[in-house]
């Protein structure tokens, strides 16, 4: 089925068994599973001109495949999710590595054996490493609070270094916080890796990048005789939730509605706006083969941006003589400004507001919120797909 722009003049929601709002990974997974599992006709409405939601990628004017809404690295322990997604793509064998730029020195993150040598010099670094191996064993991920708990001044020194140079300033930039506003329980979980593996997701069962990109993956997922996709359509212009019923195009809708947009927007934010962080992403193509040693370099002690991504190093695309990089600047999201809400701010007050909206949504029996915006939480792609498969299972079982 082609991906359409806008709705046909005689659009009739009643001719569909389910309406899916949003063509990101959540909506697309539900659409496919319901079309296959129930034999339903499914209509997908997407506000943007493109499918794949925040995982959308495209070839830019310089011929380089870039991720418009931030770099996405696929990794999962979930075999079912992996099997499902692998129906729509082959994977590259990309293994993600991250370096931190600490006052101009690049060192692996999570902080490991090599980082210790770079931070403290070879001799002292080796001595500290030997002590870490002695206390915790080799190839272990140890939170810095466990280092502090030992009461050994050497291990406290390592914990303090990691806190100050890898975590603190980066987190302040990312979340716009002062040090005293950062939750100590989060701080304590910052890990040190006692070993040499410098991969960001060591030992994860499945890791890589979709061979032809995420947009192609999602397009193939939506390519089914029973699925119609309409982009450039804001479903909230068609949807009415008054009287605890879903109406579409001014008629009560009896099918199932899967909603993957922001849950506060669903109710016109009438109880207040759920706060988010947004990102200002600045892309630049440089006349050189390569800009940095790995795909992601975090700026943990300097600069206003949090990190630089170099896409070719992630996608494996070969384009000689030029490379596209992207700097990420984090800032507070302003509702109704056209900005993209990226990261939910998981704090008690916000969760209370989320639960109030969620309770209202749950009172409407044929309305099903799913995905990162509708569930107001940070989800990796595999988590969103898992949650969408679970919801679809329930609907398939009911019908």
Q: Are strands 206-208 and 74-76 parallel, antiparallel or unpaired?
A: antiparallel
The helix/strand/coil state of 225 is coil
207 binds ligand FAD, rule: CB under 6 A: no
With respect to ligand FAD, which residue has the nearer C-beta, 291 or 329?
329
89: which 2 tokens?
A: 């793509």
State which of residues 33, 34, 43, 54 lies at the interface with ligand FAD (CB under 6 A).
54
The residue written with tokens 């994977």 in the block is 91
- For the bound state, the minimum distance from the C-beta of residue 5 to ligand FAD, rounded and expressed in Å, comes to 13
- For the bound state, the minimum distance from the C-beta of residue 48 to ligand FAD, rounded and expressed in Å, comes to 4
> In the chain, what are the helix, strand and coil shares in percent, each to the nearest 5?
35, 25, 40
With CB under 6 A as the rule, give the number of residues binding ligand FAD. 34
381 binds ligand FAD, rule: CB under 6 A: yes
306 binds ligand FAD, rule: CB under 6 A: no
State which of residues 66, 73, 118, 168 lies at the interface with ligand FAD (CB under 6 A).
73
206 binds ligand FAD, rule: CB under 6 A: no
192 binds ligand FAD, rule: CB under 6 A: no
298 binds ligand FAD, rule: CB under 6 A: no
- CA atoms in the 13 A half-sphere facing the CB of 259: 28
Q: Which of 377, 285, 341 is nearest to 70 (CA)?
A: 341
- The DSSP H or E segment spanning 146 is helix 144-149
Q: Candidates 48-56, 109-117, 126-134, 220-228: pick the segment binding ligand FAD (CB under 6 A).
A: 48-56
Q: Which residues pair with residue 239 across a beta bridge?
A: 248
Distant-in-sequence, close-in-space partners of 178: CB < 8 Å, separation ≥ 6: 172
Distant-in-sequence, close-in-space partners of 73: CB < 8 Å, separation ≥ 6: 94, 96, 200, 201, 207, 209, 314
With respect to ligand FAD, which residue has the nearer C-beta, 206 or 372?
372
Q: Are strands 296-299 and 307-310 parallel, antiparallel or unpaired?
A: antiparallel
- For the bound state, the minimum distance from the C-beta of residue 16 to ligand FAD, rounded and expressed in Å, comes to 15
- For the bound state, the minimum distance from the C-beta of residue 382 to ligand FAD, rounded and expressed in Å, comes to 6
Cα–chain-centroid distance for residue 137? Answer: 32
230 binds ligand FAD, rule: CB under 6 A: no
Alpha carbon distance 153, 131 (integer Å): 11
DSSP state of 111: B
- For the bound state, the minimum distance from the C-beta of residue 211 to ligand FAD, rounded and expressed in Å, comes to 17
- For the bound state, the minimum distance from the C-beta of residue 174 to ligand FAD, rounded and expressed in Å, comes to 10
State which of residues 142, 194, 235, 325 lies at the interface with ligand FAD (CB under 6 A).
235
State which of residues 35, 42, 274, 373 lies at the interface with ligand FAD (CB under 6 A).
373
Q: Candidates 120-128, 218-226, 230-238, 346-354: pick the segment binding ligand FAD (CB under 6 A).
A: 230-238
23 binds ligand FAD, rule: CB under 6 A: yes
Could you say which residues in the range 251-270 bind ligand FAD, by CB under 6 A?
Answer: 260-261
At 52, phi and psi to the nearest 5? 90, 0
With respect to ligand FAD, which residue has the nearer C-beta, 53 or 208?
53
Residues near ligand FAD (CB under 6 A): 21-27, 45-48, 53-55, 70-74, 234-236, 260-261, 279, 342, 371-373, 379-382, 384
């Amino acid at each position: 089925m082609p991906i359409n722009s806008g709705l046909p003049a005689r659009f009739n929601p009643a001719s569909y068994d389910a309406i899916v709002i949003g063509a990101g990974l959540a909506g697309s997974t539900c659409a496919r599973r319901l079309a296959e599992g129930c034999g339903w006709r499914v209509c997908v409405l997407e506000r943007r001109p493109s499918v794949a939601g925040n995982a959308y990628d495209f070839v830019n004017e310089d011929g380089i495949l870039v991720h418009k809404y931030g770099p996405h690295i696929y990794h999962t322990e979930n075999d079912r999710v992996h099997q499902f997604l692998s129906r729509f793509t082959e994977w590259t064998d990309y293994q993600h590595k991250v370096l931190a730029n600490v006052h101009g020195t690049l060192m692996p993150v999570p902080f490991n054996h090599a980082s210790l040598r770079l931070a403290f010099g070879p001799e002292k670094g080796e001595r500290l490493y030997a002590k870490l191996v002695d206390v915790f064993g080799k190839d272990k991920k140890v939170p810095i609070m466990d280092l502090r708990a030992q009461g050994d001044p050497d291990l406290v020194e390592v914990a303090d270094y990691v806190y100050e140079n890898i975590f603190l300033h980066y987190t302040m930039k990312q979340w716009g916080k002062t040090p005293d506003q950062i939750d100590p329980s989060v701080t304590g979980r910052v890990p040190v890796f006692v070993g040499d593996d410098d991969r960001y997701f060591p030992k994860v069962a499945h890791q890589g990048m979709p061979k032809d990109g995420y947009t192609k993956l999602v397009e193939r997922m939506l390519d089914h005789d029973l699925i119609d996709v309409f982009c450039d359509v804001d479903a909230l212009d068609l949807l009415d939730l008054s009287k605890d019923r879903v109406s579409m195009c001014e008629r009560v809708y009896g099918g199932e509605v899967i909603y993957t947009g922001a849950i506060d927007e669903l109710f016109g934010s009438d109880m207040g706006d759920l706060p988010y962080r947004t990102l200002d992403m600045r892309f630049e193509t440089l006349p050189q083969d390569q800009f940095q040693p790995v795909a992601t370099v975090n700026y943990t002690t300097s600069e206003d941006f949090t990190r630089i991504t170099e896409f070719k190093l992630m996608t494996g695309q070969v384009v000689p003589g030029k490379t596209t990089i992207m700097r990420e600047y984090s800032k507070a999201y302003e509702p109704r400004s056209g900005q993209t809400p990226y990261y939910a701010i998981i704090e008690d007050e916000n969760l209370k507001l989320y639960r109030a909206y969620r309770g209202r949504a749950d009172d409407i029996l044929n309305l099903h919120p799913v995905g990162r915006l509708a569930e107001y939480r940070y989800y990796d792609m595999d988590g969103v797909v898992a949650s969408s498969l679970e919801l679809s299972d329930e609907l398939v079982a009911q019908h």
